[in-house]
Structure 1
Amino acid sequence: MKKISAAADRAANLTRQLLTFSRRQIMQQRALNLNETIGNVASMLERTLGEDIVLKFDFAKDLRTIYADPSMVEQIVMNLAVNARDAMPRGGQLVVRTFAADIDVQYIQKNPEARVGQFVCLSVADTGVGMDAQVLGRIFDPFFTTKEVGKGTGLGLATVYGITKLHHGWIEVSSEVGRGTHFKIFLPASSKQIEPSVNKPADQVVRGGKETVLVVEDEAELRLLTRQILECYGYRVFEGATGAEALKLWPQHAQEIDLLLTDMVMPEGITGWELAEKLRIEKPELKVICTSGYSVELAKMNLDAPAGIRFLQKPFKPQSLALAVRECLDE
């Protein structure tokens, strides 16, 4: 339970940074050890990659600190891992390395984006399908993707690029078709000392249940994580990536499903509340929670949502999700 909770806490932080990045809000920077930051997401990396991909770490000892937002650095690691996973559909190997880099004038002559000084490098190399020069030249363009429709947003690597730039770093990429791809993220080294961590107060215990929840979320990782959290609290879970998938699943399980937990905005045309209205025609007692990256106030003000639907703002933590589900079911 603690592992699931920690993973979901981290996912909430990563999602929050996507919103923060898009709104250009102030980053929460502090002195970090890159090795420790990667270690914090190691178990999530393993789950994301799956059993067919071998994950290896090679961390430099006595690595200099960096001054960065920890959640954003974790997001860089996770996005690169997801990109690597998708490039290795038949399995392979992913090697994550860290090392110190002293950049001089000669290096800059070969790498114009680089800067003179002391840097810490995150290296992520896969044995995937690789990319040709044409694709390689566009990988950081927002919404550019080589994946099938519905399989990716094209924002992962663009976000990596943006976060790296926000931290005054740069990225070097090499790739060979049939051999794999190698990303190197350079971040400025810092003289700041790492502050000791402060213990958080214990969280309130939230009651679970045995009811059945239909989760509809187009982001695969978030959908899986939501399912894991709910199952950890004792709920039975059905899931769909879109409203259309949910409608196909509904006839077989309508009598079993007690609550619909759906994203408000999804692909394939049907919104979360439109889905809720359709299902409530057949089952008026169905409880509904809509999730959104918008604030609850903004969602209610600008979006034509039917009465009786609860809102849960993304990013949410495990307890927030469990509490919202329990309260909704108990109404």
Structure 2
Amino acid sequence: KQLDFAGEIEKSTQRAADLTRQLLLFSRKQALQPHDLDLNEVVTSITKMLQRVLGEDVEMQFKFSPQPLLVHADAGMVDQILMNLTVNARDAMPKGGRLLIETSAVEFDEVTAAQTSQARPGSFACVSVSDTGGGIPPEILPRIFEPFFTTKDVGKGTGLGLATVFGIVQQHQGWINVYSEAGQGTTFRIYLPRLTKASDKKANWSSLAAIRSGNETILLVEDESSLRAAIRITLSRLGYRVLEASTGAEALEVWKEHRAEIRLVLTDMVMPGGLTGKELGEQLLQHDPKLKVIYASGYSADIAGKDFHLEEGVNFLAKPFAANKLAQTVRNCLDKI
């Protein structure tokens, strides 16, 4: 046990040095020290420290990519990202809750990149941190990465935590997406360039053509017009007939006119107008229990589906999703008996 404690002390000392470097980096006085790393191993190595930061009231869960996620990054800076996001999640759950850290390999094509302003096509490693706290108010969300901006009480927050995360991610030529809903929680998803073989990337781009297409009619419900257009184009190229709606209420009107033709509904979970994707799905399934429904969300299936069953690749798409993932999930859902 003493050796274990000594090892933890050594790690803590190293992390303290890394924190000092992080502060210097934030002030542009410290250069990155990048190396080729496996993101899965980086997350695993800091698990115990994150658990201590969270305390006993927050359950911590991990879902790791089955494949190595090689990135060219500064290990101390990646630790700092995870630490800052964990502290942020802890403060959002004063009465306890659940923290989920996930890693995954992501391929961004034109469809995926259209779902966020900062994205670009290529191979990326993603690490996401999700909490079950109260969520970030929409009026505050655009400001959370501003230096010294904080909603915490005086003396309880510097306002540098998320600003530092944003700066580190940018230094690594990556970007960060935030999904938050009042009463549901928040997910921070960080994308870093992934080291991969050129042949692997080429195989991914061609995989869309290998997926079986169809001619069924699909009702697409998405309030963001650019994303809705990208999804429509992809599905149309695969042979599907696509009907569109930007809100749940509009979707109900389209359903009334075309219910005999619609075989599948692809809907965003969070939409304006007072009707959520879940509520829309429930209403349509009452009319037609055999209808297939796929839900899309910036949250993971575990977080978004805490009130009902969601399965990635069957009835759920985690945003952002690639064209081949969209095509395969639609086909899986339609073919499921």
Aligned to 1:54: 59
Aligned to 1:125: 130
Q: Give the Å deviation of 1:7.
A: 1.9
* Distance in 2 between residues matched to 1:167 and 1:99, nearest whole Å: 17
* Distance in 2 between residues matched to 1:47 and 1:11, nearest whole Å: 15
Aligned to 2:114: 109
Q: Check conservation: 1:63, 1:99, Cα contact below 8 A.
A: no
* Distance in 2 between residues matched to 1:144 and 1:190, nearest whole Å: 34
Aligned to 1:135: 140
Q: Give the Å deviation of 1:17.
A: 1.9
* Distance in 2 between residues matched to 1:64 and 1:45, nearest whole Å: 20
Aligned to 1:8: 13
Runs of 4+ residues over 4 Å off in structure 1:
none
Q: Give the Å deviation of 1:151.
A: 0.3
Which is worse superposed, 125-134 or 88-97?
125-134
Aligned to 2:40: 35
Cα offsets for 1:232-290 (capped at 9, x unmatched): xxxxxxxxxxxxxxxxxxxxxxxxxxxxxxxxxxxxxxxxxxxxxxxxxxxxxxxxxxx
Identify unmatched segments of 5+ residues in structure 1: 193-331
Q: How many residues align?
A: 192
* Distance in 1 between residues matched to 2:23 and 2:134, nearest whole Å: 28
**Paired residue for 2:74, among 46, 69, 76?**
69
* Distance in 2 between residues matched to 1:64 and 1:6, nearest whole Å: 23
Higher RCO (CA-CA < 8 Å; seq separation 6+) = 1
Could you tell me which amino acid in structure 2 is paired with residue 129 of structure 1? G
The aligned runs of 1:83-98 (5 Å cut-off) are 83-98=88-103
Q: Check conservation: 1:127, 1:180, Cα contact below 8 A.
A: yes
Q: Check conservation: 2:40, 2:69, Cα contact below 8 A.
A: no
Could you tell me which amino acid in structure 2 is paired with residue 59 of structure 1? F
Identify unmatched segments of 5+ residues in structure 2: 198-337
Q: Is 1:158–2:163 an aligned residue pair?
A: yes
Q: Check conservation: 1:60, 1:98, Cα contact below 8 A.
A: yes
Aligned to 1:328: none
The aligned runs of 1:270-309 (5 Å cut-off) are none
* Distance in 2 between residues matched to 1:175 and 1:20, nearest whole Å: 28
Q: Check conservation: 1:131, 1:181, Cα contact below 8 A.
A: yes
Q: Give the Å deviation of 1:191.
A: 4.3
Q: Check conservation: 1:14, 1:74, Cα contact below 8 A.
A: no
Could you tell me which amino acid in structure 1 is paired with residue 129 of structure 2? V
The aligned runs of 1:306-317 (5 Å cut-off) are none
Q: Give the Å deviation of 1:110.
A: 1.9
Q: Give the Å deviation of 1:4.
A: 2.4
* Distance in 1 between residues matched to 2:49 and 2:87, nearest whole Å: 11
Cα offsets for 1:9-54 (capped at 9, x unmatched): 2222123222133134321000000111111111100000000000
Q: Is 1:167–2:172 an aligned residue pair?
A: yes
Could you tell me which amino acid in structure 2 is paired with residue 82 of structure 1? V
Cα offsets for 1:131-163 (capped at 9, x unmatched): 121111110011111100000000000000000
Could you tell me which amino acid in structure 2 is paired with residue 74 of structure 1? D
TM-score (norm 1): 0.56
SS of 2:187 mapped into structure 1 = strand
Q: Is 1:182–2:187 an aligned residue pair?
A: yes
RMSD: 1.3
Q: Give the Å deviation of 1:63.
A: 2.5
Could you tell me which amino acid in structure 2 is paired with residue 29 of structure 1? P
Could you tell me which amino acid in structure 2 is paired with residue 41 of structure 1? I
Cα offsets for 1:33-90 (capped at 9, x unmatched): 0111111111100000000000001000113300001100110000000000000000
* Distance in 2 between residues matched to 1:63 and 1:6, nearest whole Å: 23
Q: Check conservation: 1:102, 1:117, Cα contact below 8 A.
A: yes
Q: Check conservation: 1:119, 1:187, Cα contact below 8 A.
A: yes
Aligned to 1:264: none
Could you tell me which amino acid in structure 2 is paired with residue 126 of structure 1? D
Could you tell me which amino acid in structure 2 is paired with residue 163 of structure 1? I
